[in-house]
Amino acid sequence: MASKEYRFDESTHTHSIGGIIVPGITTVLKPLYDFSAVPEHILKASCAYGSAVHKVVELDCLDALDVDSLDESLRPSLTGFGQWLRDFGFSKSDFIVEVPMGDPALKFAGIPDLIVDGKAIIELKTRKVNMLTDPLQTVAQQNLWVKNGGARVKEYAHYVLELRQDETYRCTRVNTKDAWSKFRRLLDYYWIGQEVSAWKRV
């Protein structure tokens, strides 16, 4: 059950718990990313395309997608998603889709892409799998989900589903034993950084 202390402001894409801004999972993982070699215009275009693909899948799962009005550049991802559903035996009705949630104890939040309760965490990507960051992202999503009332089972399967522009997909299982401990260390690192920043303002 979601915490009454948690709030998500969609207009600013910020998470708060008890009125205090807390980091999303991507923010916690930021020290592991390096986009310095990517031109800014390419990075912005890639982010915009990825966001659009996420929205297409979300609307499709909720049976709210107007396929006829869909931009041609997004149709291949939808085709790949449909093929993945058939190959893996999932139904759109199986998914908990894009639900914001937070952890009041550990003070972080996130919006998992797709969850099959008790079975799987699926992270959608328009890029190749990243075994440095993706296992940490999905294990953090699992822990958020369980903390917010999801089924407590021995193991969820963590998948990164890459939806490609040639109408194909690549689905990679990314469970690793040390993912949660690494995420916790990064989360501690984030809050230590916030504390040090506060010292500087005194």
Whether the full predicted model's pTM is greater than 0.85, yes or no, is yes
Q: CB–CB of 116/85 below 8 Å? A: no
Res 3: pLDDT: 63
The series of mean pLDDT values per 10 residues for the chain, 202 residues long, is 80 94 97 83 88 96 94 96 97 96 97 98 97 98 97 97 97 98 98 92 78
**CATH code for residues 6-201:** 3.90.320
pLDDT at 41: 87
β pairing state of 157-163 and 169-173: antiparallel
User: How far is Cα 20 from Cα 7, in angstroms, rounded to an integer?
Assistant: 10
Count H helices and E strands in the chain, helices first.
5, 10
pLDDT of residue 1: 47
Tracing tokens 């919006």 back to the chain, one arrives at 111
Distances (CA, A) of 162 to 34, 71, 122, 166: 20, 19, 10, 11
